[in-house]
Amino acid sequence: MAPPNPSFVRRDASVLGRWWWTVDHGLLWAVLLLTLIGLVLSVSASPCVAARIGFARFSFVKKHFLMVPLSLMTMVAVSLLSPQNIRKFSLLVLAAGLFGLVLVLFAGQEIKGAKRWLFLFGFSLQPSEFVKPALLILVAWLLTERHKDADFPGFKLALFFIGLVTALTLLQPDIGMTLVIIMSCMVQIFIAGMPLLWVFVLAFLGISGLSLSYFFIPHVANRLDAFFHPETGDPDQLYQIRQSLAAFHHGGWWGCGPGEGIIKRLVPDAHADFVFSVAGEEYGLILCLFIAALFAFVVIRSLFLAMRQQNLFVIFSVTGLSVQFGLQAFINMATALRLIPTKGMTLPFVSYGGSSIIAVGLGMGMVLALTQKRHGFVGDL
């Protein structure tokens, strides 16, 4: 009888062996299932989108199949880090991301009324995607240090960095990204026991920013008008959401069958922002409920693991990262169902994406690293 593979033996002392027996398997399998669903939907939706804009039919499919392994490798590599190294690595990512956010204002290419992307060597890069998880780690560390030393200005420094990132994303402008960042940080500040007044201050700033954007940013006004006044709203915005709702109606419970959907031929972002609609049309409400359940499982499982920790840095970090992950998924699915105004935000691990899917892998790698079973890891960092 052949000896067991040492990679799957509990006493295996290799790096990957220790990782396998300490990482949370539930989160890992949920992410892999979401990724698999994304690959299937990419094969279905991407060729029509690529052909409509003059690209080779399978160009988006090939890129997605390239980016998914990179995302998973990023996730695994980051999940091998210790909490101390997660903090140090996040500082480097945040510094590079802030530089990118400044650079994109001057050298970024404007698409759909916003400057969010840098184009380097044929690839597009969205710096704000990488700033999102890195900022949460920094805020978590600052709030933790504030708990350890009442004289340490951790809370003020956290507000400074939140304000800095918020200002840079608003200048692009990217209202949806800004709201996700503010709401995730609000949760961290709330559970850190900071005065409730500051939570309301951040909420007020977010609502004020959204209100002002209506008057000064045309594409935001168009989306809000289309949502609240569909009879007089922007025809392009109304077209996308009507096609999305029609796709769910056409799909019913069980869907019209793989590759048989119509929305991917009609909506420009069927492979990205409206991939949930493609799932609903071709595979029905059953798959949509399963996808939503997977996202809910990832968020709830992450929060449960955070509650079991005794280290404040880990608790604050994992809570912020899981809330951010859930918010991004909710915004994408709610947009497709017309529960909220249209917002271009990808569905984590499912939508086609370059920097977005890599950044999601980065964030989930941090969650896996911070929630690993560790002996003797109890104190503060």
The tens digit of pLDDT for each residue in 6-46 reads: 445 556 667 777 888 889 999 999 999 999 999 999 998 88
Per-residue model confidence as pLDDT tens digits over 317-358: 999 999 999 999 999 999 999 888 888 789 999 998 788 999
Angle, helices 235-251/218-228, rounded to nearest 10 degrees: 50
* Confidence (pLDDT) at 136: 97
Collapsed DSSP state (helix, strand, coil) of residue 36: helix
* Confidence (pLDDT) at 289: 97
Going by pLDDT thresholds of 50, 70 and 90, the confidence category of residue 1 is very low
pLDDT of 377 above 50:
no
Mean of all residue pLDDT scores within the chain: 86
Q: Which secondary-structure segment (H or E) carries 337?
A: none
* Confidence (pLDDT) at 321: 97
Higher pLDDT, 4 or 292: 292
Report long-range pairs for 113-122 (Cβ below 8 Å, ≥24 apart): 113/217, 113/218, 113/219, 114/172, 114/173, 114/174, 114/219, 115/172, 116/172, 116/174
Per-residue model confidence as pLDDT tens digits over 53-108: 878 888 888 999 999 999 999 999 999 999 999 999 999 999 999 999 999 888 77
Q: Are strands 114-120 and 109-111 parallel, antiparallel or unpaired?
A: antiparallel
* Confidence (pLDDT) at 92: 96
pLDDT of 364 above 50:
yes
Per-residue model confidence as pLDDT tens digits over 343-352: 878 999 999 8
* Confidence (pLDDT) at 235: 72
Going by pLDDT thresholds of 50, 70 and 90, the confidence category of residue 378 is very low
* Confidence (pLDDT) at 36: 96
- Name, in order, each residue with C-beta under 8 angstroms of 200's C-beta and a sequence gap of 6 or more: none
Please compute the mean of the pLDDT values over residues 210-235 and round it to a whole number: 76
Please compute the mean of the pLDDT values over residues 252-260 and round it to a whole number: 87
CA distances from 260 to 47, 111, 283, 337, 343 (A): 13, 30, 10, 20, 26
* Confidence (pLDDT) at 282: 92
